[in-house]
Amino acid sequence: MLILRNLSAQLCRRSLDIHFERYKVENEEDLKAFRGVVQTFQRHLPFEEEPDLLKYWDFCYERSFGCVGILKDWLSQALATALLDGAKTLTLSHLKSSAYSHEQCMIIFNETRL
């Protein structure tokens, strides 16, 4: 997106960069807020039975690095997988099958740890 912003002076003048920090595991308030995000997402997933993602909040944090955008994209992929399976709810199995690989996680971790 930053590349697009710099295509012209007009785009530069009309753009504003906003950095949303990830939730940090060292901060209890951040973890509380992250669990709230997970709960909000689970309430809005279109299943017969509401999934209990709070049970897996730590796995969600681990694989999203506390980044809500990564979590949203991952849950969208898990949702698609579960719907294709005809599942009544989202399970840990769906989350695991849609999660980034360990190699991908290391690359993302190295970029988000700053």
Tell me whether residue 101 is in a domain. yes
The verdict on residue 12 lying in a domain is no
* Domains held by the chain: number: 1
Tell me whether residue 2 is in a domain.
no
The verdict on residue 63 lying in a domain is yes
**Structural domain of 62:** 23-112
Q: What is the CATH number of the domain that holds 33?
A: 1.10.8
% of the chain exceeding 70 in pLDDT = 91
Establish if 35 belongs to a structural domain: yes
Inside any domain, residue 8: no
pLDDT tens digit string along 81-104? 999 999 999 999 999 999 998 899
Q: For 29-39, what is each residue's pLDDT tens digit?
A: 999 999 999 99
Q: Is residue 104 part of a domain?
A: yes
Which string of DSSP letters, residue by residue, matches 52-93? -GGGGHHHHHHHHTT-HHHHHHHHHHHHHHHHHHT-SS--HH
